[in-house]
Amino acid sequence: MHYQLYVIELSKKVFTENRRFIEANPQFNGVVECLYVGMTSKTPAERFKQHKLGRLSKKGHNLSSPIVKKYGNMLRPSLYNHLNLTPMSRAEALKMEEQLALELRRKGYAVWFN
């Protein structure tokens, strides 16, 4: 199975309403966006839809991030398309997810990732 990364722009309300998000992003100055970085074996559009609908897996596991379900606005392909040019394994995608999230934080974004 191949994986790819995706980035979702979040409403800035997340930074005023979600304590864990605020604590994870002490560098955020409120100027640029709040983001969610994830990885998926589906298309980014399919994965975003799963988050927004609050989908459950066949085994009853929640497939939706509560942060994305409540605050997710839209996909930001310009922040991830360049990383999806070659197929990634799950392990590679997990590593790239963290690297992308930390890189975006260094650029001033407020970012949530798993």
Mean pLDDT of the chain: 92
- Which residue did the predictor score with more confidence, 25 or 63? 25
5: how many CB neighbours lie within 10 A of its CB? 23
Cα–Cα dist 105/32, whole Å: 10
Q: Stretch 3-19: mean pLDDT, rounded?
A: 96
Cα separations in angstroms, 34 against 13, 86, 95, 100: 9, 27, 21, 14
Whether the Cβ atoms of residue 38 and residue 47 lie closer than 8 Å to each other:
yes
Q: Give the model's pLDDT for residue 25.
A: 95
